[in-house]
């Protein structure tokens, strides 16, 4: 019997970019996200859809899971660069929504055995929110 494999994602770093005219306190936003990543790891919230649904590090990191990742439990680093569609993903800064223009994540991927009867995933995105990224560029991290 073949045991299913899933990939655990581990946040390594992130870098946010905003539209040129956006007035944001980047240091404050970064500190909030770093605090969240420290507490919640891959479940940390990195942004919100226009309707207010939280988007986690893990959810965005799934874009880097491809068939060429090793199944032997070894770790692989990848850099994911997201160019967001205009006004599709937001961060919160002092109670106001600020749209992200670009986000770069460095993620470590490691295969782990799938748990039987896994709990259902977070609520799926509404169809109009499901296409919040324009492009995703995936690169292997150069050592």
d(CA 90, CA 133): 12
pLDDT at 9 over 80: yes
pLDDT at 143: 41
DSSP code per residue over 73-102: S-EEEEEEEEEEPTTSSEEEETTEEEEEEE
Q: Cα angle vertex 62, ends 109, 121, to 5°?
A: 115
pLDDT at 1: 30
- Structural domain span for residue 17: 5-140
pTM of this structure:
0.76
Say how many domains are in the chain.
1
Characterise 63 by phi-psi region: left (phi > 0), alpha (psi -120 to 50), beta (else): alpha
What pLDDT, in 10s, does the model give residues 45-89?
888 888 788 888 988 998 888 888 888 889 999 999 988 888 788
Characterise 31 by phi-psi region: left (phi > 0), alpha (psi -120 to 50), beta (else): alpha
């Amino acid at each position: 019997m073949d045991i299913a494999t899933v990939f655990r994602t581990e946040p390594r770093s992130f870098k946010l970019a905003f539209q040129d005219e956006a007035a944001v306190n980047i240091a404050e936003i970064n500190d909030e996200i770093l605090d969240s990543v420290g507490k919640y790891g891959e479940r940390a919230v990195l942004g919100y859809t226009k309707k207010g649904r939280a988007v986690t590090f893990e959810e965005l990191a799934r874009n880097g899971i491809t068939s060429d990742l090793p199944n032997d439990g070894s770790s692989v680093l990848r850099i994911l660069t997201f160019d967001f569609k205009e006004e599709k993903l937001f961060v919160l800064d002092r109670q106001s929504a600020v749209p992200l223009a670009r986000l770069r994540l460095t993620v470590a991927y490691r295969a782990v055995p799938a748990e039987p009867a896994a709990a259902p995933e977070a609520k799926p995105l509404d169809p109009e929110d499901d296409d919040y990224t324009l492009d995703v560029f995936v690169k292997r991290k150069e050592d």
